Amino acid sequence: MMKRILAAVGLVLLLLACWGCGAAPRPDTVSYVLEAEPSRLDPAMTTALPESNVELQIFEGLTRLDGHDVPQPALAASWQISPDGKVYTFYLRDGICWSDGTPITAQDIEYSWKRVLNPDVASENAYMMFCIDKAEAYFKRQARADEVGVTALDDKTLQVRLTNPTAYFLNLTAFHCYYPVPKHVVEARPDTWAADAETMVCSGPYKITAWNHSSQIDMVKNDAYWDAGAVVLDRLEFPISDSQATRLTLVESGQANMTVEPPPSEQERLEALGLYKIAPYLGSYYYVFNVQKPPFDDVNVRRAFAAAVRREELVRYVVRAQKEAAYAWVPPGIADEETGRDFREEGGDLAVEDEAAARAYLKAAGYDEDHPLPEVTILFNTNEMHKAIAEAMQSMWKDALGADVFLANQESKVFLATRSQGDYQIARASWIADYVDPMTFLDVFADRDNDARYYNVIYNNLVQAAKETNDPALRRQYMHEAEQILFDDCVIIPIYYTTQPYVVQPYVKGYHWSPLGVVDFKRAYLEDQKG
């Protein structure tokens, strides 16, 4: 399973000259500085936030999340769900077109979804469609494409068969890998269509007019979009810089008006200026144990290290940025449609902080003054915040447990490979939701290839039972029981629930930050232009 990482990685060249000499953005334009250049804009293949943010403006799925993150009709005008929750029939809008005027059909959607699942395409997003009947089997070359449960009944009707009832399936259809792509363009230029402004044929509120690589992406309103009347802005600009300081300077100087992740040291000053904002971000920052690597193959050792962490201290003095200390796996922000209660509020805190208990766990594992712990190494990727947190954990574990803890820092790509190969004892990690449902978190450790090398048949059975039931109350019960097992087995140490700090000029209005980490500019406007 692909692991989405909180911090996007990539190298970009900085060409300030392309951003003008202190000139303000156009009065009909929002300028958002990306933290990295998109590698390409193929919804089937992309995994990082810069790509997802750009794709959200130029593509659209059968549904689109509204201001409350509820899926609403988009390319699909309506749908029907069978009583058993396994068959969805979508009815497309009349007259929907690609930005080049070509009609968007149900066949386009069937083609696009099966393209994600095609094993020769090798999309890292394919797992997001495994709830569809025979989808996983096709991806693993155990079934044919025509056996997959996605069928265009006619130009305007798409039928989808699921393996099990999937309560969050409509949410999935708003995710980027479910966006249809223009078959007539993709097949004509399979290697270049998603990296060239000239071939970016779009279905969303905006379309790309220029892509100056390593510098800026420019967009204009897509007049062929079915809901073009709701789009206020004439233009969007996406300058690119991997430097926090540069991004902030561009906003404060008026060359742009919005960006993410300002330097933490600037928080108080930016708050005083009214520029600093915090968006919800449905994710967890945590430490993960390799449960097969000594000494963490002993659950009591894992419990000792977990109980010795002082989260509030970490968040207040090291992390800052208005993060919330995490005492469970699934973060707050996922409300149950039936009860209205937040999953986290319902489940409560699961992690324990108790240094005396930590020392008792260590003793139960056979370690004491005469039998000291072996050396332990924390693995993290290059980032000042990751380093600061690792140093704080190192100090806590030394103080509470007498543990000799060493730090290993790796470049991000190497780090991800090392973690996925299980070549570590304990490592930092983060998980951002792919969709708004607890299952996006619980599924992580049901995957046989999870980074923790963790396998518990009872846990997996509970997760599977939650997927198969059509009873909302029973589903919640199974998911809460599964989450408790993760903490009984002490697989992870949650540190904090994520948020998205950003800066924005106060006259930019109408945008929506999704808790999935992307910002939707479909209804954005500049305050002095709103009639």
Q: Residue 150 belongs to a domain with what CATH number?
A: 3.90.76.10
Q: Are residues 419 and 404 in the same domain?
A: yes
The mean pLDDT value of the chain amounts to 92
Q: What is the pLDDT of residues 393-451, one digit of tens each?
A: 999 999 999 999 999 999 888 998 999 999 999 999 999 898 989 999 999 999 888 99
pLDDT at 15 over 80: no
Q: Are residues 171 and 86 in the same domain?
A: yes
- Which of the two residues, 117 and 19, has the higher pLDDT score? 117
Q: How many domains does the chain have?
A: 3
Q: Are residues 351 and 289 in the same domain?
A: yes
Q: Are residues 436 and 288 in the same domain?
A: yes
Q: Are residues 427 and 286 in the same domain?
A: yes
What is the pLDDT confidence band of residue 27, given thresholds at 50, 70 and 90?
low
Find tokens 């804009």 and name the residue: 41
Tell me the C-alpha to C-alpha distance, in Å, between residue 36 and each of 8, 40, 72, 239, 289: 7, 12, 30, 9, 30
Interatomic CA distance for residues 529 and 208, integer angstroms:
23
C-alpha closest to that of 91 among 75, 112, 76, 72: 76
Q: Are the C-beta atoms of residues 312 and 325 closer than 8 Å to each other?
A: yes
Please give, one letter per residue, the 3-state secondary structure of 264-325.
HHHHHHHHHHCCEEEEEEEEEEEEEECCCCCCCCCHHHHHHHHHCCCHHHHHHHHHCCCCEE
Interatomic CA distance for residues 155 and 106, integer angstroms:
5
Q: What is the pLDDT of residues 269-322, one digit of tens each?
A: 999 999 999 998 999 999 999 999 999 999 999 999 999 999 999 999 998 777
pLDDT of amino acid 25:
54
Start-to-end CA span in the chain (Å): 47
Q: Are residues 248 and 288 in the same domain?
A: no
Q: Are residues 316 and 371 in the same domain?
A: yes
Q: Is residue 19 part of a domain?
A: yes
- CATH code of the domain containing 431: 3.10.105.10
Q: What is the pLDDT of residues 340-377, one digit of tens each?
A: 899 999 999 999 999 999 999 999 999 998 899 999 99
Q: What is the pLDDT of residues 507-524, one digit of tens each?
A: 999 999 999 999 999 999
Which 3 state secondary structure label does DSSP give 414?
A: helix
The one-character DSSP state at 379 is: E
**CB-based burial label for 122 (10 Å; 0-12, 13-18, 19+):** exposed
Q: Are residues 291 and 408 in the same domain?
A: yes
C-alpha closest to that of 528 among 509, 512, 515: 509
Report the DSSP beta bridge partners of residue 159. Answer: 89, 151
Q: Is residue 186 part of a domain?
A: no
The one-character DSSP state at 455 is: -
Q: Are residues 296 and 267 in the same domain?
A: no
Q: Are residues 433 and 290 in the same domain?
A: yes
Q: Whole domain around residue 127: which residue ranges?
A: 60-180
